Amino acid sequence: RRLNVRVNIELLSISNPVHKKDLAVRLTDDTDPFFLYNLVISEEDFQSLKSQQGLLVDFSAFPQKFIDLLQQCIQEQNKDIPKFLLQLVSSAPALDHTPVSLNVVETNPFKHLTHLSLKFLPGTDAEIKKFLANCLKCLKEDKMMLEEKLKKTEEDLSRQLSYTQQSLAEKSRELDKLKNEWTSYTTALSNKHSQELTSEKERALQAQTQYQQQHEQQKKELENLHQKSIQQLQNRLSELEVINKDLTERRYKGDSTVRELKAKLSGLEDECQRAKQEVLSLRRENTTLDAECHEKEKLINQLQTRVAVLEQEIKDKDQLVTRTKEVLDATQEQKVILEESTEEKQRHIEKLETTIKSLSAELLKANEIIKKLQGDLKTLMSKLKLKNTVTIQQEKLLAEKEEKLQKEQRESQEMGQSLRMKEQEVCKLQEQLESTIQKLEESKQLLKTNENVITWLNRQLSEVQMAKKLDTPASAPAAGRAAGSPLGMPDRPSFHSSGISHPISPLYAFQNFLEPPHSKNGNPQCPVQLNSQLSKLSRCSDAHTVPAAGHAANKENGDQLGLESKYFKKKDDSIPLRGLSQNTLNMEYLRPYLPSKAQLSPKAAGTPASAYFPG
């Protein structure tokens, strides 16, 4: 019988009394838990086994070799005729607690070879119990692992089920919504399409009547064109027949010239053969003469010893040799001449062959042209038939294309109207943009001017305050100057502490008039307030200003201290600075900042300028 047996191989190391290594082999059956056979091989037992069975392996390499043999048995177990077998042989008829031998057998057609035979002892009750306990332990561990996996899988599946049920409910709701929407949409579409169909049918009937009329007109035109093309083709056919006749005549002429050339060729070939025969005869004579020359040379070599005695005979023979050489030279010259003549004849023959080939090629071309013309005639006839069918198809296509054209024209008109509306909107937006940009630029310029004025006034204020704080004794002469002027304005204040010796601008003087008497200690908000007053005054002025000469103003009033040129403009009716008194100068500077008579109240219109500037 056949059994599936599990083989466990363990290498045990014992080191209590002496360090030893034992090989433990155990046979078990997964189906029968009481099937247990053990074998323990020590190094001494292996030596006796090695000598008995003639093994060539050491104890250290024996386990691996045994495993290799078992693997070969496993590979061959499914075959009909396995090469390697594992035989478990017992002395008793049944496996009932009797010693057993395990044989590894290799089968050949000649003999069954046993590579290894090991004797196993049946397991005792204690060993079987121990083995069964181990098996039970392993099974319990596997069971625990499987139970944990089962719990995890059940939890995952329950989560997935709940999630899928929720998603199913949501999807079913969405489906119902979509069905309702679809039904409403389909009803609306069907109504639309029915209306469109009725309108399209009316249009199609109108278009059909138009196309019928156009078709009749085109048909008449095509018939006229067809008749004209037939007449043209007939004229062309007659011309082609005339050309065909000319080509046939040329062909016959070419055939006659080819025959003449062939006759000439045959005569030239005969002459060539004769010349070749002559050359062959001359070569034979040449060979005979060469042989004679060799014989005579031999004789000369033999008779060299008799030179003194046979001088006369040698002279005669020398003369004969010279004559023969002359004859040889003559024959060689004739040979060269004959070779040249043969080469010329061959060239002439090649020329004739090329002319014959060209003539034959021309004839073939002529035949091909005739065939092509005949084919063209056939294709023209077939094309005429096709044209009739194509016209019918074109009429149908024209009807479809005109319908499409009308639709596209309507769409293009609608698009053109929308485009015009958008263009108008764009123009309006552009105008708004330009106006906003202009306003922005104006506001930016105003901002810049205001900033420059503020910075300049701040500088002037800080310089004045520093001068007041630091130079207390220098204030007496300044006050004297101010009293000297008729309007009470300082003439040209100078700042000794700051190192500025040039005259101050009239804006500074105007600032001193606007300041109240108690502002000598210095107020940080003063520059901003002054700027606002100045801007109000400048808006009220109605006089036009033109740019004055920048260099002259700089020379007279000193540096502009970072201010732009437009703040130093003078009026057209103003008097130049030089040669005028300080009183008139100050009034000219203050005129743009004073309010006009039109803008003043009736009470303030009559008041003098000194009322605005007390002291």
Residue with tokens 């089920």: 161
Dig out the tokens for 520 from the structure: 């000598």
Side chain identity at residue 322, one-letter code: T
Cα 352 to Cα 369: distance, rounded to the nearest angstrom: 26
pTM above 0.75, yes or no: no
Dig out the tokens for 142 from the structure: 């596997």
Per-residue confidence (pLDDT) for residue 374, from 0 to 100: 84
Cα 54 to Cα 234: distance, rounded to the nearest angstrom: 112
In the chain, the largest separation of any two C-alpha atoms, in whole Å, equals 179
- Is 58 in contact with 43 (CB distance < 8 Å)? no
CA dist list (Å): 574 to 125, 358, 367, 505, 539: 140, 110, 111, 16, 19
Cα 47 to Cα 50: distance, rounded to the nearest angstrom: 5
Per-residue confidence (pLDDT) for residue 144, from 0 to 100: 95
Structural domain boundaries in the chain? 5-123
Cα 457 to Cα 511: distance, rounded to the nearest angstrom: 9
Question: How many angstroms from the chain centroid is the CA of residue 591?
Answer: 74
Per-residue confidence (pLDDT) for residue 399, from 0 to 100: 86
Cα 598 to Cα 65: distance, rounded to the nearest angstrom: 130
Cα 509 to Cα 492: distance, rounded to the nearest angstrom: 9
Q: Which stretches of the chain score pLDDT less than 70?
A: 93-96, 472-615
Residue 493 belongs to what H/E stretch?
Answer: none
For 178-196, what is the HEC assignment? Answer: HHHHHHHHHHHHHHHHHHH
- Is 458 in contact with 563 (CB distance < 8 Å)? no
Residue with tokens 């639709």: 407
pLDDT in tens, 144-175: 999 999 999 999 999 999 999 999 999 999 99
For 519-534, what is the HEC assignment? Answer: CCCCCCCHHHHHHHHH
Residue 101 belongs to what H/E stretch?
Answer: strand 100-107
Helix, strand, coil percentages in the chain from 3-state DSSP, rounded to 5: 70, 10, 20
Beta bridge partners of 121: 38
User: Hey, is 106 helix, strand or coil?
Assistant: strand
Per-residue confidence (pLDDT) for residue 163, from 0 to 100: 93
Cα 466 to Cα 12: distance, rounded to the nearest angstrom: 109
Residue 286 CB partners (closer than 8 Å, separation 6+): 328, 331
| CATH hierarchy code of domain 5-123 | 2.170.210.20
Cα 540 to Cα 595: distance, rounded to the nearest angstrom: 6
Per-residue confidence (pLDDT) for residue 412, from 0 to 100: 83
DSSP 8-state class, residue 37? E
Cα 257 to Cα 180: distance, rounded to the nearest angstrom: 96
Per-residue confidence (pLDDT) for residue 565, from 0 to 100: 52
Side chain identity at residue 103, one-letter code: N
Q: Which long-range contacts (CB under 8 A, 24 or more apart) does 78-81 make?
A: 81/107
Closest CA to 20 of 8, 11, 30, 7: 11
